[in-house]
Amino acid sequence: MKSQKHSYRAVTYIALIMLFALALVLSSCKPALPPQLVKAVVGEPLVLHIGETALVSATDYGITLEEILSDSRCPANVMCIQQGSAKVKISVTLNGAEQKTVVLDTQVDTSFTYDQLTVHLNAVQPYPGTVEQKVLDSERTVSFLLELNPVAQK
């Protein structure tokens, strides 16, 4: 009878330890966060981090910085034969539904027009060679300037 009591206690302790371990693992998991929304104003600089979406004031447009695809710009502290460029992928939505995804480049294709909205790529920060430590993608920013084009008359 005594050995059954000890077996039961051992099983109970093991089950409690496993439940505690499971609770610890589950509590360390972070839920997926919705994309962060920021406000954008036509004619004013817009700065986005990767994954952020800007809603353009007084319009039905949204702009999301999907990712920084590449950054081959010549570091500020180095002499280079070619300047290089940075490429970013953005998506623009209209009325929250229609979507157009495009790649902008700091050297060519620096602007993109979707319907009446023109998005100008201004800068990808930080510029290579201006910081000592490695910069995480989450710390990088891209700045844009937005312009509304008049409706074409027919």
pLDDT tens, residue by residue, 82-120: 888 999 999 999 988 878 999 999 998 899 999 999 999
Q: Check the CA dihedral 122-68-106-58 and report its sign.
A: negative
**What pLDDT score was predicted for residue 64?**
95
**Considering the entire predicted model, what is its pTM?**
0.73
Does pLDDT of 23 surpass 80? Answer: no
Helix (H, G, I), strand (E, B) or coil at 117: strand
Tell which residue, 38, 127, 41, has the closest CA to residue 78.
127
Which comes out higher in pLDDT, residue 25 or 12?
12
**What pLDDT score was predicted for residue 96?**
82
